[in-house]
Structure 1
Amino acid sequence: MNGATVAAERPAVPAWRDTKKWMWPAALIVPMLPFASFGIAHKSGIDAWWWFGPAIIFVLIPAVDGFVGDDGGNPPEELVAMLQEDRYYRWMTFLYLPLQYAGLVLGCYAWTHSPPNLIGRVGMIFAIGSVSGIAINTAHELGHKREDMERWLSKIALATSMYGHFYVEHNRGHHIRVATAEDPASARMGESFWAFWPRTVAGSLRSALHLEWRRFRNKGESPWTYRNDVLNAWAMTVVLYGVLVAVFGWSALVFLVLQGIVGFSLLEAVNYLEHYGLLREKNAAGRYVKVSPLHSWNSNRLATNLFLYQLQRHSDHHANPLRRYQVLRHFDESPQLPGGYAKMIVLALFPPVWRRVIDPRVIAHYGGDLSLVNIHPKARRRIEATWGRRETVGAVR
């Protein structure tokens, strides 16, 4: 058998390349924004420059999304294994952490040594808090992987936002109960973000503690151990905050706690829009059907996907949680958001606007059948009065 014959019999590799490969460093711009804010504010004497980062995230990025548009391409399945093994993509997540921590130290220094005015202080809280919140997305990507190092890095990324229990609740709670009435991280149609926030914060905490305590109880062991993933994740926050308070003084603790609240609130705003109103049906045995691409809201807005490691391709993530961000796919059958996450978070803060934009899309997704919708109990009467009398619902895009 000659070389030409061997070459002819070898399976052809699709002629495809990742056109976004060299765009992924854009995700590292976010943790660098506080440094730009500090430098410009210090040089100009205008403390309002601390709002520069939040303006980039919630104003400029949505504007770029609208200009650039969508990216609906999927990598060929034949190349998925190779793409997942390419360590370049992993380093794009690893590098977020040192920048995240450096920004937190910078924030403590600015808060205690050259404190800005009230406008600047609030801007600083939101600037650093946004970095901590988006770091939870980095933790989300790392925490789903099998490698021990990536899982520990996930907890380290969560430490700045005081949300270490997310590591347990998201992987073993949310992914099991997603798009059901029992899931504290799945928002119900008619439930405002402001009603969802306390329910998901408290519910996720209770769920994480229950899941981890049950894990040790089933093994006949005490949960009071360093191997408890809730306790060791929280310990990282205690150590981190303790060191920073020892270096910068007790006033830094106020800043640390406030930016942490902003951080995990940003996460919960994302949770709010990812599964709003979506519900998994129950089969004949009374069990929820398997998670599919139908149970998560998607967005292919290119700019936001670059900044969030394609978190917006959330349907594929829930159907295949071990897939790395660079190979997540778009599915035509998934419900589509009318904008990227940054834009949708802003809309979610204003319930009347949010309902006007999203509720018709929920109804259209289920063909007008309210029995298929995850409805907030307190809003059921209003929703049935508004949508129940409509015989047909057109597709909304």
Structure 2
Amino acid sequence: MRTPVDAPSVLAGWRDSKKYLWPLALLVPVLPFLAYALWVAGAGWAAWWLTPAVVFGLIPLIDVLLGDDGRNPPDDIARQLQEVRYYRWITFLFLPVQYAALVLGAWVWTRGGLGVGGAAGLVATIGIVNGLAINTAHELGHKRESVERWLSKIALAPTAYGHFYVEHNRGHHVRVATPEDPASARLGESFYAFWPRTVWGSLTSAWHLEIGRLRLRRRSPWTLRNNLLNAWLLTAVLFAGLIATFGWQLVPFLLLQALLGFSLLEVVNYLEHYGLRRQRNAAGRYEKVDPRHSWNSDRVVTNVFLFQLQRHSDHHANPLRRYQTLRSFDMSPQLPGGYASMVLLALATPLWYRVMDPKVLAHYDGNPALANLKPGAEARLRRRYGRPTAAR
């Protein structure tokens, strides 16, 4: 860990330099309202591409200019920060702005006059907002307080991805960086091959996990105590309410924005553990999760917008740790950029392989047998790097 924790001067003088930047996480769900104002003012269909331009253009640029912040709160300060409700309220406030943006998008969609370019931009705008809301749901869903867990499900409802609440906490965190985890991408696996594997694998895993939990309690799976069913019910109620208000013509909009929203989550899943693998010990069990098993980034801007999701190693080691106290570790493998730029790279498969495959191999001292290797990827790696590729 980078920062010493035992010097009184450090404890006395340390402050959260991002304290007043965290509300910027609410900027993205506000952008659709600015886009609407530009559209009304006559900017045309291009106004609805404002949110994608900011998220995948402006933010990566500022990320590069401002660079990294690898400071960690000392342990005593971190324990105090955990209890400061200011940070909690920022995550709470994301939800009403998220839902307001969804209602705005529904109203604009049914009003008409968008054209093909405007309709595509509107879907992209609301899909990005609800995709980022899954990150807020991720932060809330790990907490013990029941109100935060329910807010997590509410944040997931617009993308119809309520099963994430179960699979991420009880599936992904158990199996992370292993071939058995549908949310851990393999070395040599493109995002487009990963997407169907993780979407279907996560859904079926969540169902089996929840059925197993209920059976242990001798309860039927067909109950509202089933966390998948009650989460999906929230989606059904939300979509039914919107369709009743705005009409059946809203259905394509709801489906497309949900598809884009949960795909944004899955591309982030793809890059968080790409090629990384926990090894088996002498007893045949996987080693404990540690900072080597997640890709990290200390880029300031994207960490603010994502509630420090990019400090992913500490999150896996300490899932209950709140975002403001997550730490950076020297032993964590580092991404060459923040998530916003890495998402774009992941969509360009040849460039992704060119940048990330050497980093995975370097992480394992050139031995791909230690990586989470996609079956059948040996030949391509052998041609490009000329190294042994037998997976064990």
Identify which of 369, 372, 378 aligns with 2:367.
369
Q: Residue 110 of structure 1 corresponds to which residue in structure 2?
A: 108
1:1-397 equivalent positions in 2, closer than 5 A: 13-389=11-387
Equivalent pairs counted in the alignment come to 382
Cα deviation, 1:79-125, whole Å, max 9, x if unaligned, reads: 11110100000011000000000000000000001340100000000
11 and 351 in structure 1: CA distance in 2 versus 1, 3 angstrom threshold: closer
Tell me the secondary structure at the aligned position of residue 380 of structure 2. helix
Q: Residue 395 of structure 1 corresponds to which residue in structure 2?
A: none
TM-score (norm 2): 0.95
Q: For 1:157 and 1:64, how far apart are their aligned partners in 2? A: 27
Matched letter for residue 71 of structure 1: D
Contact 1:370 1:388 (C-alpha < 8 Å) held by counterparts: no
1:390 positional shift: 7.9
Structure 1 alignment gaps of length 5 or more: 1-9, 392-397
Contact 2:381 2:387 (C-alpha < 8 Å) held by counterparts: no
1:222 positional shift: 0.4
Q: For 2:178 and 2:103, how far apart are their aligned partners in 1? A: 40
Cα deviation, 1:129-186, whole Å, max 9, x if unaligned, reads: 0000000000000000000000000000000111000000000000000000000000
TM-score (norm 1): 0.94
Q: For 1:389 and 1:136, how far apart are their aligned partners in 2? A: 39
Q: Residue 4 of structure 2 corresponds to which residue in structure 1?
A: none
Q: For 2:375 and 2:388, how far apart are their aligned partners in 1? A: 20
Q: For 2:285 and 2:113, how far apart are their aligned partners in 1? A: 55
1:381 positional shift: 2.4
Tell me the secondary structure at the aligned position of residue 178 of structure 2. coil
Matched letter for residue 47 of structure 1: W
Contact 1:14 1:78 (C-alpha < 8 Å) held by counterparts: no
1:378 positional shift: 2.5
Superposed CA RMSD: 1.4
Sequence identity percentage: 62
Q: For 2:218 and 2:383, how far apart are their aligned partners in 1? A: 52
Cα deviation, 1:47-86, whole Å, max 9, x if unaligned, reads: 1110000000001000001100001000000111110100
Matched letter for residue 145 of structure 2: E
Greater gyration radius: 1
204 and 115 in structure 1: CA distance in 2 versus 1, 3 angstrom threshold: farther
182 and 132 in structure 1: CA distance in 2 versus 1, 3 angstrom threshold: same
Q: For 1:46 and 1:226, how far apart are their aligned partners in 2? A: 45
Q: Residue 3 of structure 2 corresponds to which residue in structure 1?
A: none
1:45 positional shift: 4.7
